[in-house]
Chain A
Amino acid sequence: MSLLDRHVGFVHALREAGLPVSLAEGLDAARALQVIDLAERESLRAAYASTLVKRPSHRPGFDTLFDLWFPASTTGLSGSRTEGPEGPGGSEGDPDALDLETAEVPQLRDRLAELLLGADGMNEFARAMVERFGRQTAGPGRQNWFSYSVLRALSPETLMARLLAEVLAGRERGGLAEKVARQRIGENTRRFEDAVSTDVRRRIAEDSGIERIARSAVRPPLEQLDFLRVTKADLARLRREVHPLARRLATRLTVKHRLGHRGRLDFRRTVRASLSSGGVPLTVFNKPRRPHRPELVILCDTSDSVASFAHFTLLLTYALREQFAKVRAFGFVDTVDEITRFFVPGADVAEAMTRLAAEADMVRFGRTNYGNAFERFAERYGDAVGPKTSLLILGDARSNYQRPALETLRRLSEEARHVYWLNPEPMSQWDTGDSLATAYGEVVPMHECRNVVQLAAFVEELA
């Protein structure tokens, strides 16, 4: 493949993965290739990144694809070639270097332990280990590559205890030193796992073509992640994203308020000002607009199936507290409890979530029951909903075939100024199984809300 073909293919793959690469940006990248040293792989990566990737959330996908289209050119077994970030590492010029091809597993684990403490040569080592442990024959002349078999053979996570003992060297456990060491070793373990899976992808691409693997290898950027498919790690990243997102939204909202509809004519001021121009009102003054700040009541399904969605949305609304006159939150599984108290200003986010799950009284039998939850809510907290209130319901409308209590919901929605329902399920799955999406949707307008992009758009409409 010539460089030009490779460049075109790579840009195309980026677009397929959802990065908005314009024609001009593609040309910029091509021009950048003319002025940098193409043999420097990390420079090449940085050149592409700075011309094509204009959002941090697109970077992980970019890196995965870059590693596929511009793979490192060693297997790691035969004399290691040094690479940009690794510096002179590996086994070159080292007389008692380990022969990675024949060494026993315990020795390999020793080497891995060194790497996890920050020695150089992680990438070469990962490649060599994939070569040794990652291959599985899939039939005559065909082979498959797996990262789990590499990680199982070396099991980096079981090295933690040993490494901690080594680093702390007799200092007390459980304190600051251990925390710092853990952080560092954990970070390096993740790097090793990434290096292994990158190399596995590279080998699969060699066998079966880049395009095929590229499609399945890239996870969508954070803001397009499906709420119902987030992993624990994603949730932590999402939580970190809440404050910046809230800040961005808040800025947008204030701009909107400033630009939108000027207030009513300030008659008195206009006439007074006209005196200086002989009674001709040259400048017209308007009264400042009263910002409309709705009271927000959130009624949210906190059962496991939609927990991450509920959590994220609650966090976001609380980060946006200033945009609303008052925010009250209620959680339910099959009965309702007020959870506003867990979100006092300045409270610790992660802790609020754990306490919420432990202390709030939202579960009687443990299976989601929308009908019962609505009825309990109406009788216990009915006064929370009034003519100034926007009521926001979060949930997948799956009620385990119980009574829907549509009447109660209709009464609530008549009391409130606005009612919205956000459903994290894709619209194609509404009404399947025990989903009552349409039935509820006839009473309360239901919006599909599967990712941060959709949620942000909705919040902007709401405030």
Chain B
Amino acid sequence: MWFASPADVRERLSAVDYLTDDSIATSVFLAGALGKPLLAEGPAGVGKTQLAKAVAAATGAQLVRLQCYEGLDEARALYEWNYKKQLLRIQAGNGEDWDATHDDIFTEEFLLERPLLRAIRSQTPTVLLIDETDKADVEVEGLLLEILSDYQVTIPELGTIAAVRRPYVVLTSNATRELSEALKRRCLYLYLEYPAPERERDIVLAQVPAIEAGLAEQLARTVATLRALELKKSPSIAETVDWAHTLLALGRTELDAETVGATLGVVLKHAADQTRARKELAL
């Protein structure tokens, strides 16, 4: 059992500075209780990857991360034979017959373990983070489906390896493409939105302890206003925190129009977005 209840999730995650709300706490609890993978989807910068790290930190589990990208294949995600080493071993062989050599070069020593296999074989509690699943090709989804349904892998030369303890699996996605229905059905789904201003204020206070509560409040409200504009890229939580650091460094205690205008580049990274914000907010 990973967590005792949603309230327990809330408490232990906030101890490692990750502030949750009802839906996050419940989904994180259920993923552990039902032993199902958790798919966290949402815009960039709402703390999806951070969530997996926080779960690992709060439970003392080790974190195994598989970063997905276009062209990721089984050899990079699951396992590979170290064939260079195998060649050396054969050349260094002292006249054994083929069978002995064969039995020798397909052993543990020559196996390159990749994140998925490492998570499955791990003896200790493990959080497996499969990051940016939407960037991977569709074939990888098939592989994930297979592994996430029975948590076992078959390696022809070694036989079937089943998980001793099921890892806690978190998949993240920015929804740049639709993941397959089959994969979604297998997972619990958590849509992470930008946080409500109250929660974002608390996040800023947790991350930047030196800031005054009033200013953090103003920051969170202003960022919420910016996100309501139709921007190309809305400010992420990390950018809000950066903004708080910037204001501290500049020694500002008040977020007035002039300050916002001067530091807008910290939160908006597109020229068109900045122009729009200046116009809409009369900066």
Contact = CB atoms under 8 A, between A and B. Distances in A.
A32 interface: yes
Interface string A343-385: 0001111100000000000000000000000000000000000
A179 B225 contact: yes
A42 B29 CA distance: 14
Interface stretch (B30-38, B123-131, B205-213): B30-38
Interface in B207-225: 218, 221-222, 224-225
A84 B20 CA distance: 14
Nearest to A51: B188
A236 B272 CA distance: 18
Interface string B14-28: 000000001101110
B246 interface: no
Contacts of A35: 29-30, 33-34
A54 B26 contact: no
B177 A31 contact: no
Interface string B210-250: 00000000100110110010101000000000000000000
Interface string A209-252: 00000000000000000000000000010011001100110011
B81 to A, nearest CB: 22
Interface stretch (B57-65, B102-110, B274-282): B274-282
Interface residues of B, number: 51
Interface residues of A, number: 50
A118 to B, nearest CB: 8
B22 A46 contact: yes
Contacts of B224: 180, 183-184, 187
B267 to A, nearest CB: 14
A37 interface: yes
Contacts of A32: 30, 33-34
A63 to B, nearest CB: 11
Contacts of A140: none
A36 to B, nearest CB: 7
Interface in A171-205: 174-177, 179-180, 183-184, 187
Contact of A346 (B191, B271, B281): B271
A174 B280 CA distance: 10
B256 A247 contact: no
A300 B281 CA distance: 34
Contacts of B97: none
A346 B39 CA distance: 33
Given A36-B26, A54-B185, A85-B22, 5 more contacts: A118-B198, A180-B222, A183-B228, A252-B177, A350-B230
26 contacts: A25-B185, A32-B30, A35-B30, A36-B6, A37-B5, A37-B6, A43-B26, A46-B6, A50-B23, A50-B38, A50-B189, A51-B30, A54-B185, A176-B257, A179-B225, A179-B281, A179-B282, A236-B230, A239-B230, A243-B232, A248-B175, A248-B178, A252-B177, A346-B270, A348-B275, A348-B276
Interface of A: 20, 22, 24-25, 28, 31-32, 35-37, 40, 42-43, 45-47, 49-51, 53-54, 56, 59, 84-85, 118, 174-177, 179-180, 183-184, 187, 236, 239-240, 243-244, 247-248, 251-252, 255, 346-350
